Structure 1
């Protein structure tokens, strides 16, 4: 008997419970084309876990995440959490570090029927290194990479290692090799950060030699931002260190129509976490107005990563159909529907496609 596909659902804060439940309904609607049955478990993180367990991400959640096939992570209000010593840890950063999720795969594409700020149709991907760079909460073995040696001086350590650079480069090139354009742009600032970005470029250049069919280009991060705004169609797969990738992926998603349409998958050698690109939006929580598309597309990516290609293709196609018309879109996209009604429409499209 085939083992079930086990997913851990962490609802998070704000609109997290609404969009996680909407996403699970869409996944269940795809049941006929799934190779395995879905088995889900929910655990609390964020403020709910802090109140019940004294931590925004208890150790039991980390252990559960290590034991399942994939994690669905709802958005969290980590900027509002108390200090770390009082239990206020960022669940996203903790999971990335503990599960060794070295890659953050962030697509940005325009959709038929929706106006995009770029005014051009494009389909690109940012492959962002996920475990080091300027991110102070995950680039040290112990302690924090940001510190104040005296009251008026604040310092931050940027960490770039050969292993992490090779890992994200290889993930990016493998992805580019599977796409029609077969083109990689490596983003850096080696003219200023000669040692750290110098090492990063050394690694990407060495991996490029393993993929002769993939075109290779290097671009300064400020130039990459300018060219994204001017003409995003010139890019296919961008590979970047952590902070540069975070900034550029948000820019690309906004140019494509907004973070509410942007999926995101964190993955490593053994684990994967689906996570919407946007935040927890506590101001609209519980009002049935949240748009679940970003998390739906993130879980579509997770299913694809886990070998459920038919279900992923069906969910992605159904999202495309739903976004074509104002009558089947949420109100933030100049549509007419709330969260529940949109979820019903999307589930129906998925079910019809699965017959």
Structure 2
């Protein structure tokens, strides 16, 4: 509702009381009208539901002495300015808060702060109609294969989450029993508590739990809480490139909302199984490839596998040392921008456990050909 709409409302007329009615008369009128028009008393009656909202809005102002005084002051101000209230605004004020006399007077300047303040200083945001509430987020864990983390996968999860009680549909009352306006919060759904230092805050009513109504008998299933547990199966798409331990947020797959509110989200912590030969480092895949001494010394071309693709040929230059890393572009994990990381291939030069006679003779000849050069000589040289 805009500021102009608020300014045009005659809350005394809505409750059917005179402007000079005392607070007791205002409360009595509100309780009578609220009882007659509450949605739980007239299920499916949209007109009654709308009247109940108007009644609650009116009492939210007139039922609070400080708010009522500010509201009355505002009415007096408009009446003294030429009388457009409550049928309209003086000086041609439109619904959007136009100007008067070309002076650029903006209704939002007048009402914006007044309607945004809570507590006793102005027309607060507290309402006595049931508020839509977003459902809670639900957390779950899932373990997927290594390939699924690279290519993406769909998993099925069975979730247990908080939900409206199936017996009372969230009202907290035993089916068939009569609802009454909560005597503790007087139908507000909230109570004001002091936090010290002259400050106060609104809290959910401990008796009606914010539902504004209490019943003759509590629901035997939820014992008046209005909540229960539900179990359901959901399918969740895990995006390509997800990392081990990453938390994925799936919008709208959490617990159901209340009073028409949206559902919460599902937060899935993903665990990735290890792979037989491949590993992962950031957006790159890793692979350790064994090569023979002669392949490393003389150079060679070898085939190496890729994850989910055809093998690639890798050229090993002569004199390649053990542990050297070769990069195969674009054969790694997907990135958010649509590109892919690389495949990092580490060379593992193999030393045979045993030598046959011919191989031993060849290695001995190689040693003799080295002319006794000591590869560790530099370790014993002096100097920094």
Q: TM-score, normalised by structure 1?
A: 0.22
Q: Which structure features the higher share of helix residues?
A: 1
- Rg bigger for which structure? 2
Q: Which structure features the higher share of strand residues?
A: 2
